[in-house]
Structure formats: structure tokens, C-alpha cells
Amino acid sequence: MSSTGTAKNNFAWLGVVAVLFGVLLLASHSTELLKQIVLSPGSSADMNIAAQCREDELEEEQLSLQECQLMVSNVQIVLASSPEWFRSFQISLSSIGIAAALFSLVAAYSLASTVGGKGSMALLSFGMLLLLDVAGFIAAVNTGPLLRAQYLWPLLLWFFIHLCMLIAVIIAKNNTNAAEV
């Protein structure tokens, strides 16, 4: 295979990998948005209302009484440890994240399908996703230890995934440019 062909091939497999991560990222940001919408301050768990655990429901969900009670505590952890700015910040960040994940799918699709593509859209997309990961990471660092424990590690994983993808696109792009000269 020629060097141009190899460079195009790099783009093709990068595109497929990017589509896979794009789909997973979209699910991740959508779930986060749903989470922030549902867990609103001033709701029942925030008012310290005791958990209501009916026997039949426990059996149906195969839960112990303690697990049922801890489900309320789980919500209380999120609400009590979120600074005032955190919910609105997360709603904005995950909304932008959904748009960025959709854009990354388009960029990945163009990487996988373009003959001799330049990968500029993918560069922009992964750069944007990296910035979002950094913004989410900084926000989580500025919350308490309970939220940091939930957010920091997955954010770090996403950061490195997007960093790898960005570097790979830069190299594939350079290889294509070099092959075309």
C-alpha cells in the first residue's frame, strides 16, 4: 500500500474508534444532564424525609431495607455536597457536551468515510472535547470530597481518551500532508 493509502487508512480506523467513543460520550453527557435535572435542590431527599420502602417493592427490586434507605442518602450526598453554582454549571456543561459529542460523531464519520480527508473537523472536535473535560475537571475539583470521588476519575479517563485521539489525528494529518507533498 502507498504512503497516501496508509495515511488514509489511519484516518479510517481513527474514525471508527472516534465514533465508538462519541456514542459512549453522548450517553455519558445525556445521563449527566438527566441526573442534574432530576436531582433538584429542595426536593424530598433534601428535606430529610425518611425513605419509604414498601415490602413488595423491595422484593420486586431485590433490595434490602438498608439499600432502599441508602438510595435516599445517595441523593442527599449529591445535593448536600453540590455548591450552589454546581448544578447550573453541570447542566450547561453537559448540554454543551451533548452538542460536542454529536459534533464528534459527525467529525468521526467524516474521518472514516473521507477519501484523503484532512481531519480538520476532528482536530477541532477533539480539541473542544479536551477543553470540556478540563472544565468539568476543574469544576469537580472545586466541590467537596464526595463529588470529587464520583467525578474526577471518569473525567480523567475521558481526558486521556480525547488526548490520545487528538494526538492520533495530528499524526495522521501530518502523514497525509507529507504523503501528498
Partner 1 sequence: MQKNSRNSSADQEDETQAMPRIIVLMHWLLATTVFFLFASSWWMLSLPLPSEDFTYRELPFQLHKNIGISLFLIAVLMVSVRMVTTLGQASVAQSWMQRLVFLEHLLIYFLLLVCCLSGYISSSYSGWQTTLWWLIEIPAWTAENDELNIVFSDIHMWTCWALLVVLILHIAAALYHAFNNDGMIEKMFRPN
For helices 65-81 and 145-180, give the axis angle rounded to 10 degrees.
70
Examine residue 115 and tell whether it contacts partner 1 (CB under 8 A).
yes
Count helices and strands in the chain by DSSP H and E runs = 6, 0
**Quick one: 14 or 128, whose CB is closer to partner 1?**
14
Distance of closest approach, residue 39 Cβ to partner 1, in angstroms: 7
Examine residue 112 and tell whether it contacts partner 1 (CB under 8 A).
yes
Whole-angstrom CA distances from 100 to 65, 66, 155, 158 are 41, 40, 15, 13
81-84: long-range contacts (C-beta < 8 A, 24 or more apart)?
81/143, 81/144, 81/145, 81/146, 81/147, 82/41, 82/143, 82/147, 83/142, 83/143
Examine residue 99 and tell whether it contacts partner 1 (CB under 8 A).
no
Whole-angstrom CA distances from 137 to 14, 75, 105, 109, 154 are 25, 21, 23, 28, 9
For partner 1 (CB under 8 A), the number of binding residues is 46
Contacting residue, 85, 96, 107, 109, with partner 1 by CB under 8 A? 109
**Quick one: 75 or 171, whose CB is closer to partner 1?**
75
Contacting residue, 86, 93, 97, 105, with partner 1 by CB under 8 A? 105
Residues 6+ apart with CB under 8 A from 79: 39, 41, 43, 45, 46
Contact by Cβ (8 Å): 130, 166: yes
Distance of closest approach, residue 170 Cβ to partner 1, in angstroms: 19
Q: Which of residues 12-71 bind partner 1 (CB under 8 A)?
A: 12-13, 15-17, 20, 23-24, 26-28, 30-31, 34-35, 37-39, 43-45, 49, 51-54, 56-58, 60-61, 63, 68, 71
Binding residues for partner 1 (CB under 8 A): 1, 5, 8-9, 12-13, 15-17, 20, 23-24, 26-28, 30-31, 34-35, 37-39, 43-45, 49, 51-54, 56-58, 60-61, 63, 68, 71-72, 74-75, 105, 109, 112-113, 115
